[in-house]
Amino acid sequence: YVIDACDRGNTMRFVNHSDNPNIASHWIIVDNLCHIIFHSTELIPAGVQLTYDYGPYYWRTRTNPKEL
């Protein structure tokens, strides 16, 4: 699946990629509809950016900043 919140979505669309993320996701099915649940993987102090690992396939269509 691909989720693209480029034009619309909730505040999770502002979460940036990290190789050491502080949030993770799980998929659940409710009434035959897939939902993605995000949870923290550590205590996140106020003011700290939320980060998520976009996965290996994300960099197939984007420029990896490590390669610039």
Checking if the pLDDT of 56 tops 90, the result is no
Report d(CA 43, CA 13) in Å as an integer.
Answer: 21
Please give the pLDDT value at position 1: 60
Q: Which residue has the higher pLDDT, 31 or 13?
A: 31
- Give 16's contacts (C-beta < 8 A, 6+ positions apart): 49, 50, 51, 52
Which of residues 31 and 35 earns the better pLDDT score? 31
Mean pLDDT within 23-29: 93
Cα 68 from Cα 52, distance rounded (Å): 21
Cα separation of 27 and 37, whole Å? 6
